[in-house]
Structure 1
């Protein structure tokens, strides 16, 4: 997989006189030349608004825009391209489900079930919905290794539950949740399952039909597409029943002085001019990923983690959160070193050219659950090598030595 590094010019630079090792992929992924060139090509040759013109450029732009919808449907094995809605990202996608489906289906006394590991984007919208409607927000417990407690799943989901919302993969703990099993439990109680796929979609093959979920959201920028483009997939019968949230051009069917009718899904949700260049970039990113193969990407990341985890576990004073077995986690490794603040650790690693994230990772309830204020987080992707993993290990050791003795 290391040969793909050549496709990412940004990775060839030095940071603080050290060769860059980019390990902040859970926050955003780097973009290959193919994606950047696709966006440039659109702006140089096809730039026009979609759906609104019969001239050649408009027709080319519209075709590109809608072709990517078909491409996304294939990428996640959605039954129909008409179930693919363009959004700004996972955050907007989840907010739309909460505001549209949630507002019309949740009432006082109903239950919404999430877990302690959720990103704020899959927590705050449901918290706000519960406050507006008088519903009860309930949390699924975690096992000691960070995985969902399935006994708690079965206990928390009841006949009063209307919505279950869970991350497919945690952005902190690196666990992958058994959505197919949980979907069956939710459906037995008449609830829908909303999946946050931000951390899973870039790293493994997604099949929304096998997962059995009702809604699935992900962001383009985490799978090497531009920022500002994301996807909401939903079952057609649910989308057809949901009211639009933004009103204006493009999403209407007919406007009269006192009333308006709207287009069918997905277009009724896509008011105004969309991020057309972002959609084009998303299509190019999917092409790039599928050329490599999602199974190959997952295998590569597992190989790197299987090499890195044992070496990290040997560093005295290093605490790793989530499953300790490499085969039970994604390429996300959150950790703390001795009594050092994660920001100090991340700054020290940056001086070694190793880019990691530090903070609460938009998961403050999880930090409280873990009884820590924050963590440092290294996250790997297809262009990261075994050597990158070794650089992380050595940089952490150097950081530990520096703060202990003042030398490296």
Structure 2
């Protein structure tokens, strides 16, 4: 009898401990937020915002998970298929198509508050729209700009372009040639990955490359408007000698030592490269941001914004959407933009005075925000294969002078359409 009584007492205490002591934690939700922030300022901003959320939401804890841009696609695919995807996913809009069409991401239309939906312009929402649904919240973006040696340009006497009065592509080519000579180049094109840069800049000339028919099928065309940007790069390298051929295989960061050393007058780079320049430029080096050249469609440019998505398998989609809304409140969006040296998509955040200063040329980039559009290949199924197997080698050979424009067109169109056809049966 005594043994039975002691056993009952022990079991009662265990049950009490499980139901009472941990009762609050049983009800607490934990959301995993995978961030791809990598710059120190950006990581700090993201972690601070997570801490601020957790401080006032004891029942919905967010766990910060560090991801990497270098491996995010394969890592996410593995986690989706293994049922271990984070609840909240940081990525880029041009990486979402396969995940959205594959059913791995939650459709956000009914989950997001009206405040957030109305704050971000429709042109930005289009970057994360696949079929009839929205599968990511675009929140940070960057135009491609010209980073220039300000002293070099001033001494040359060339006209300095502004967002209100930019260079045309013809004027840009002429000025690059004028700035060249004696072993120096007017421009360095870092085109290790040439496809997105070429297609995005070609929107300024009316280039589209991908065309969707009435039947919904996408085909590749390479029309006169598509030729302007690649022909400009090709001729600067192979005809004018105003662009260095050695930088064609470089990434953007690789060109900075030569830029600082006075070898190149201008380098086309993403707006966020300003942070590296501030950190690495020699003392006294004078640089400035210029808008990319304009074409028939002005300063229009394609972008693939950074996005926040929710995993379809997440059991806490409502809470995940609430965290995204908190993260992208205008004041918080500004903090994230400043941390990444990029532009916010939100109209309220873009009004913040910190993004309109002449220091580090924030104002020049912010003036271009209204011209940013969805990248041409944003929702094209089969684009990654077309880019890797067809377009990248074709553009690389054309820019180096190994093939001519007709051969470039043949490869992009004929070979490209064979690739895309496999994804549209």
TM-score (norm. length: structure 1): 0.28
Largest Rg, 1 or 2 = 2
TM-score (norm. length: structure 2): 0.27
